[in-house]
Amino acid sequence: MKLRLIFALLLVPFPSFFKVWMYRIGFGYKIGKQVKIGFSAIIADECSIGDRSRIGHLNVFYRNQNLRIGSDVIIGFANRIFGGKLLDIGDKCHIHRFNEINSILDPLVLGDFDPTLELGEGSVITVNHKIDFTDRVTFGPSVVFAGRNSNIWTHNRQKTAPVSIGRNCYIGSNVQFVAGSSIGEYCVLALGSIVTKNIEGSWKIVAGMPAQVKKDLDEDSKVLVTYPTRPDLEGAEGALPVA
């Protein structure tokens, strides 16, 4: 791992085509066609990147056991993605900038835990969020983790529990998910909410401290959970349908 770290850091200033070639030949990574990698470093035991994906500048992937990045993924600027047994970033996902996404390295945990992050197809993580996946974190397809300054926590000292967000949910700014919490599908989570338990149901507005279902989504609000997360791919082969 130390040698991989040194070599990956040495590769950072080189142009994308050379980095892609070196990652394939020297690291054994499986990298598809038309992949672009900026001034970033990828240090993983295993790595695969799908066609046409783009990784911008100043991103660091470190001590990931199995890193899977799908096709047409965009990783923006200055994201830190550390640790974990499996990181599965689905096709057409977009991680914007300044996000900290990590599993505690060499954790002292009581009981079983599953350091896995799964981002469903077309999911979006915007700006300056903290996602801890010391235990499993699951985003369904087309989740929008919107705004900024939200947190997901899967550990509480030495105890862990998974967190899940159902498909097509829209998550507002400054929200908190505690270990063992979840929300259903096609839900809007209001800014400032704290999710402390499993919240069931679909097509709901969820809000509060602690969060709870407030009402059904009205017709005007449904656009928040049905508008395509990657309009740049609409109409292209393999584009996401509007839910």
Total tally of structural domains belonging to the chain? 1
Asked if the structure places residue 25 within a domain, the reply is yes
Q: How far apart are CA 64 and CA 52, in angstroms?
A: 22
Count of helices and strands (H, E) across the chain: 3, 27
With a cut of 60, say whether residue 243 has pLDDT above it: no
Asked if the structure places residue 241 within a domain, the reply is no
Asked if the structure places residue 31 within a domain, the reply is yes
Asked if the structure places residue 221 within a domain, the reply is yes
pLDDT at 109: 82
Please tell me the pTM assigned to this model: 0.93
Q: How far apart are CA 30 and CA 49, in angstroms?
A: 6
Give the up-direction half-sphere exposure of residue 133: CA atoms within 13 A in the CB hemisphere. Answer: 25
Task: Tell the residue number behind the tokens 């040698």, with chain if given.
Answer: 3
pLDDT tens for each residue of 132-186: 999 999 999 999 999 999 999 999 888 899 999 999 999 999 999 999 999 999 9
pLDDT at 45: 96
Asked if the structure places residue 163 within a domain, the reply is yes
Under 8 Å CB-to-CB from 17, ≥6 apart: which residues?
none
Q: Both tokens of residue 95?
A: 């991680």
Asked if the structure places residue 231 within a domain, the reply is no
pLDDT tens for each residue of 7-66: 999 999 999 999 999 999 999 999 999 999 999 999 999 999 999 999 999 999 999 999
The answer to whether 85 and 107 have CB atoms below 8 angstroms apart is no
Mean pLDDT of the chain: 93
Asked if the structure places residue 237 within a domain, the reply is no
Report the interhelical angle of 2-11 vs 16-27 (nearest 10°): 160
pLDDT at 59: 98
In the chain, the N- to C-terminal Cα span, in Å, equals: 42
pLDDT tens for each residue of 127-142: 999 999 999 999 999 9
Asked if the structure places residue 239 within a domain, the reply is no
Cα-only R_g, the chain: 18
Give the domain range for residue 90.
2-226
Q: Both tokens of residue 54?
A: 């783009």
Q: What is the CATH number of the domain that holds 131?
A: 2.160.10.10
Q: Between 190 and 242, where is the model more confident? A: 190
